[in-house]
Structure 1
Amino acid sequence: MNKLLVLGAVALAAVFVAAGAFFTVHQTQQVLITQFGQPIRVIQQPGLNVKLPFIQSVIVFDRRLLDFEGPGEEVILGDQRRLIVDSFTRYRITDPLLFFQTVGATEAGIRGRLNSIVSSALRRVLASEQLLSVLSADRTRIMAEIRRQVNEEARRFGIEVTDVRIRRADLPDENTQAILARMQTEREREARQLRAEGAEQAQRIRAQAERDRTVLLAEAEGQANILRGQGEQEAIRIFAEAFQRDPEFFQFWRTMQAYREVFGNGESRMVLTPESDFFRFFRDIPHLAPAGR
């Protein structure tokens, strides 16, 4: 019975020791083995590994891309304008031993250092750039230079910076109001200029239209006079031909036209002698002729 208890205790101790001796490195991890706080070796390949139990410790670091978002800060550009810049950084731990020696066993230690490094690089690079460059396609070139400087300084901590980006770039409130006022003034000036150019063009179009109208009316009046003259000439010719064919009938018809125009409304009055030539056709009518004739 005692032997069984001893064997059980030995087996339990062996299992406990084995559990403390074996460990697994995941594909997303890299491991630093320390012994009494001193680094012994680095394991970056995934798989099952062995360490001395109770003596050696395993410190795990992430080998994936890590993000760091820096707080917004105010920087002065090359044209002396102030800009509120909010940036983020992506990095990975490439040397766990150097990282442990310079930063510590946790990733929290690198954040304060990255904040200082990124802030300094932003200020150095943006101090020589204009506002339009930061807000245009030149930002790619600017961020490449910032990333290069940040990566050079970050290597001494065992990390590699893969990207640094400006997430937001805003002007301070007082500058924003001044720029908005200047933009409004500029737009109002452009609007006044466009309205003046439009009025000038409208006046030019109206003048051209009036000129064309005058020309068209003159040409139409001239054509109308020509046609009127031709019509009158043709009417005179027709009247002349009619008169030559039957002068007496033509004279009678013209006299009847005159009677209709004079007496047609019933309100005309004429003071003429009965012997007037105007009434010669009335004298020729038997029942209207004077007595004794």
Structure 2
Amino acid sequence: MALSRNVVLGVLGAVAVLLAMSLFTVHETQTAIRFQLGEIVQANYKPGLHWKWPLVNNVLKFDRRLQTLDTEPERFLTAEKKNVIVDSFAMWRIEDVRLFYTTVGGDPTQANVRLDQIVKDGLRSEFSKRTIQEVVSGDRDQIMETLGRLLKEQATFLGIASVDVRIKRIDLPPDVSNSVFSRMKAERLRVAKDFRSRGGEAAERIRADADRQSTVLLAEAYRDAERQRGEGDAQATEIYARAYGKDQDFYSFHRSLAAYRQSFSGRDDVLVLKPDSQLFRYFNKAQ
């Protein structure tokens, strides 16, 4: 009885061990390859519990989460044959684990080496087509878009899906920085001088136009004033003439009084005339 119990327990234990050796688990963050005597028989396992033949099959698991390729800053030549220091990174994950294993041996470090070479070749090609000003200020997004498309195409041959490529920083060596700064300063000074020249020209044009308008306005005002003065003088002369024509003696007497008033406006005024002068004709008549 005890012997049969031991046999049953031994059989159950062997079954448990065999079952444990026949099952394997793939987590949500993993993918796997199943080998049979060193040959790949199945790949790209989904997360869950899976079956294998014990002692015949073996399983390798790989992390299918996002991986980061953070490259060392590298020098590249621009179209002006000037050096720039570029720091970039890329994000990738395993897409085809069978191809990933056969091309890079399933080693993420080796995959980073291959991807790093693709990224540097792409950066070298793109920077050689552009000037420093273009790569620093204007064309960075276009460079990243082109580089991302290139890396995505090349990475598929490694069983890798490229998710993103970014340029973190573009620096200039000290000698190039000074040269670029001097050129930018000269350019800004040229633009400022051009603006000042245009402003001075516009100011002179406005000032000349204002002077012309002022001269025209003064001339028109003087003309109008002279015309009105002439019209006033003509009306006054006409009034005087009419008044003189109505009563010549009274008009002459009134004019003489005005002449007396103007001639003797002060106490010390002295006027030496002949007694029979026309100025005293009304005084002589009063006698």
TM range (shorter): 0.7 to 0.9
3-state SS, counterpart of residue 269 of structure 2: coil
In structure 2, relative to structure 1, the CA distance for the partners of 1:267 and 1:58 (3 Å cut) is farther
**Farther-moved stretch of structure 1 (9-18 vs 48-57):** 9-18
Q: Which structure 2 residue ranges, 5 or more long, are not aligned?
A: none
Look up the match of 1:254.
255
Q: Deviations over 1:201-256 (max 9, x none)?
A: 33333334333433443343333333322222221111111011122221222222
RMSD: 3.9
Percent identity for Structure 1 against Structure 2? 36
Secondary structure of the 1:30 match is: strand
| Shift in Å, 1:58 | 4.0
In 2 relative to 1, CA 106–193 (structure 1 residues): closer, same or farther, beyond 3 Å?
Answer: closer
From 140, 143, 146, give the equivalent of 1:144.
Answer: 146
Deviation at 1:127, TM superposition (A): 6.0
- Aligned position for 1:48: 49
Counterpart code for 1:206:
R
1:130 equivalent in structure 2: 130
Map 1:20-59 to 2 at 5 A: 21-33=22-34, 41-51=42-52, 58-59=59-60
Aligned to 2:269: 268
Question: TM-score, normalization: structure 2?
Answer: 0.76
Is the counterpart of residue 207 in structure 1 residue 208 in structure 2? yes
Output the CA distance in 1 between the equivalents of 2:284 and 2:22. Answer: 158
Moved more, 51-60 or 165-174: 51-60
Q: Distance in 2 between matches of 1:17 and 1:267?
A: 153
Task: Tell me, yes or no, if structure 1 residue 228 matches structure 2 residue 229.
Answer: yes
Count of aligned positions = 284
Q: Which residue of 1 aligns with 2:61?
A: 60
> Given the two structures, how large is their TM-score scaled by the length of structure 1?
0.74
SS at match of 1:78: coil
Kindly tell me: are residues 228 and 275 of structure 1, through their superposed partners in 2, closer, same or farther at Cα, counting changes over 3 Å?
same
For residues 216 and 26 of structure 2, the distance between their equivalents in structure 1, rounded to whole angstroms, comes to: 97
| Aligned residue in 2 for 1:289 | none
What aligned pairs does 1:1-293 form with structure 2 within 5 A after superposition? 18-19=19-20, 21-33=22-34, 41-51=42-52, 58-123=59-124, 125-126=125-126, 128-131=128-131, 134=135, 136=138, 140=142, 143-144=145-146, 147-148=149-150, 151-152=153-154, 154-155=155-156, 157-272=158-273, 276-282=277-283
CA displacement at 1:108 relative to structure 2 = 3.7
